[in-house]
Structure 1
Amino acid sequence: MGPKAKHHIQQNGFSADDIGLMIGASGGPKWLVLAGLDRALFGAFMPSRQKPLVTLASSIGTWRFACMAQKQPLVALDRFLEAYLAQSYPDKVTVQDVSRVLDEVLGHLLGETGAEEILSHPVYRNHIVTIRSGGTLRSDHKLALAAGLSATFLANLMGRARLGMLCERAVFGDSREQMLQFSDPLPTRHIALSTANMELALRASGAVPLVLAGVSNIPGAPAGVYRDGGITDYHFDQSVSPGDGLVFYPHFYDHCVPGWFDKGLKGRHLSAQHWDSLVMVSPSSEFVGKLPGGKIPDRKDFFSMDNARRLALWQKTVAESERLGDAFLEAVEKQQWSF
């Protein structure tokens, strides 16, 4: 907890109505460790809220929140889990293979009416972060894109503000809510979410360069190639203005890595104490140590094990994650928090 959040909870406890902004991180398969927590949040904790709530996410976080904002969030979450766990790839996998499979996963998640339900939800106001690529980041040619990523890495090394030379943050947001304000110097474009662009925006937000194809021709958006929002906002940071209320962050780590290229820059990693209003809920190191392989699932699992073994380990992680949801709901019920 940040200091302001800690004071609030000490004085008033913690409820869904205290939240002013809810955040979801990038991270691909890492989200599986939160599946049980999401089930508790989407099905028991958040439905008690009546007033509108802004959600902000990138990459896989946007897909999780797309489940939450449907009429039957747990049914949507089950569809998402079923399709995500069923991923299977040949040994010589291509960008086209991965894009095709994950397009099917996203279609399964949304179902026939998911986009309409998200945009008409009485509470949730989803905001989906992507980047609009510049320079050679626009190319899906492997060598050109790799060169663009190398240039982006070097620019970020000199300062996160330099990312703006090669891309801009593009936020597809629910038009019922005012535009979110980012206090960092990165160029930011706001685009209204619609039923016509919802699925493409979600696809773009998770379009990891060199893994999935970039997304073009998005209705209502300026021309360009849109890619993974984690490049600028991997886990987000305190530059996001939450407005009123606390910032609630169900996360797979106990710290934030601001952008994709900041993973190895430990000096840029942030704890909850750096963010005044933040309430972060994450699995403990003891919990993670007891997971299969002693770690949270990640994209490397696709290369280090065959499909059958990976599926078995991921299913075990999902089953274990139910304990996280139970622990959170118990803490809310008893208002027992560690300060």
Structure 2
Amino acid sequence: MFGEWLAKPAQPLQGIGSSIGAWRLAALAQADPLAALDRFEAAYLAQSYSDKPDAHEVAAEAGRILDQFVDDQARREILASQRIHLNVVTTLAPGLLGAHSTTLQMLGLIKIIAANAVSRGLFARCLQRVLFHAPGAVVKYHDDGFRTQYQPLALENLRAALLGTAAIPLVIAAVRDIPGGPPGTYLDGGLIDYHMDLPLAQPDGLMLLPHFSERVVPGWFDRYFKGRVPRHLDKALLLAPSAELLARLPNGKVPDRRDFAHYGKDNAARIRDWKKAIDECQRMADDWQRWLADGSLVGRIEPL
């Protein structure tokens, strides 16, 4: 999609993402996006850990993966890109959730989970969104209850912002005091914006959402509540694998973090099955190219 179909868009695309989605966009915003994605894929497949890794070990491995495809040259390319303007969503964690102590972090996590169980509005009073954006370009949010700050990306903070947006609480160590941003503890942007149900202030155009599921969940903890449905997808185009394709994947699902426990020390088996999943997903690319070639793409769009 991004190597051919959107290789030369008529105007710059606004790429907005949290967590690993922001990392994909960081690859796509480089001068050679397909080569960057290949480096990302190779580094991600090769990750490995000790028997009981703590959050700092996982953070160090995340940093190794990131540096494999976002080096100094790549950061300059991302900041100068006129094809994709990168926007990275992070969560600024207050109080206990932002503490150094794991016990206090756990208590803080329990507090915000309880707040979210009551309502997303109460949850919004517990966290703050910080959006790091490409210089001179920013995606603005309508007021959705979350305090939102906007900070330009620069060579000095791009790496930290990408690490911060992927810092899963208690799993990956938080990033503290990102240069240029408000002081504090930064965690996974998906806590607030998980599947990009975004109340964007820019009304023009469509939002393209390449996704791993037909279900769109607003915030990370909303996945436990079937009633938490998206409210801002009127102009969104969702591209997701079918149930039939998912059933073909090893273990009948998209690979995820649980696989490290499932495969244990058999890292070779995990990498083998993750590669099988990648190969199976080539079917989506083949279908996409065929639909573009025969002009049937628009006719295949269905209401959400």
* TM-score computed with the length of structure 1 as normaliser: 0.84
Aligned residues: 297
| Aligned-residue offset at 1:120 | 0.4
Instruction: Indicate conservation of the 8 Å contact 1:191/1:220, yes or no.
Output: yes
Which amino acid letter does the alignment assign opposite residue 137 of structure 1? L
Query: CA shift at 1:183, angstroms?
Result: 3.5
User: Counterpart of 1:16?
Assistant: none
Residues 242-293 of structure 1 deviation map (CA, whole Å, 9 limit, x = unaligned): 431111111111121000110110111349xx62111111100000001111
SS at match of 2:92: strand
Code of the residue aligned with 2:244 in structure 1: it is: E
Shift of 1:178: 4.1
Letter of the 1:55 counterpart = G
- The residue aligned with 2:252 is 294
Match of 1:277 in 2: 235
TM-fit CA distance, 1:163? 2.2
Alpha-carbon separation, structure 2, partners of 1:290 and 1:323: 11
Match of 2:204 among 219, 244, 256: 244
- 1:223 corresponds to which residue? 183
Indicate the larger mover: 315-324 or 193-202: 315-324
Whether the 8 Å contact between 1:257 and 1:263 is mirrored in structure 2 is: yes
| One-letter amino acid of the counterpart of residue 248, structure 2 | K
Q: Return the alpha-carbon distance in structure 1 between the equivalents of residues 233 and 171 of structure 2.
A: 32
The residue aligned with 2:282 is 322
Instruction: Name which of 101, 105, 110 aligns with 1:141.
Output: 101
Residue in structure 2 matched with residue 29 of structure 1 by the alignment: none
Tell me whether 1:204 sits opposite 2:179 in the alignment.
no
Residue 89 (structure 1) aligns with: 49
- Tell me what 1:160 maps to: 120
Q: Tell whether the 8 Å contact from 1:55 to 1:124 is kept in structure 2 after alignment.
A: yes
Q: Secondary structure at the match of 1:275?
A: coil
User: How many angstroms apart in 2 are the aligned matches of 1:223 and 1:243?
Assistant: 32
Aligned pair partner of 2:135 in 170, 175, 200: 175
**2:6 corresponding residue in structure 1:** 46
**Contact 1:183 1:240 (C-alpha < 8 Å) held by counterparts:** no
Q: How large is the Cα RMSD of the aligned pairs?
A: 1.5
What letter corresponds to residue 289 of structure 1 in structure 2?
A
Counterparts of 2:39 and 2:198 in 1: how far apart (Å)?
33
Residue 125 of structure 1 pairs with residue 125 of structure 2: no
Alpha-carbon deviations, 1:24-62, whole Å to 9, x = none?
A: xxxxxxxxxxxxxxxxx2211111313111111000000
Alpha-carbon contact 2:139-2:202 (below 8 Å) kept:
no
The 2-side partners of 1:144 and 1:301 are apart by 28
- The alignment status of 1:80 with 2:40, answered yes or no, reads yes
Stretches of structure 2 lacking an aligned partner (at least 5 in a row):
none
Question: Comparing both chains, which one has the higher relative contact order based on Cα–Cα distances under 8 Å and sequence gaps of 6 or more?
Answer: 1
Query: Which structure 1 residue ranges, 5 or more long, are not aligned?
Result: 1-40
Question: 2:105 matched to 1:105?
Answer: no
Tell me, yes or no, if the aligned pair for 1:135 and 1:166 is still in contact at 8 Å. no
**Matched-pair contact (CA < 8 Å) for 2:79–2:134:** yes
Contact map agreement 2:56 2:173 (CA 8 A) in 1: yes
Q: Which residue of 2 aligns with 1:7?
A: none
Q: Which amino acid aligns with 1:294?
A: G
CA spacing shift, 1:178–1:314, aligned 2, 3 Å: closer
Q: What is aligned with 1:185?
A: 145
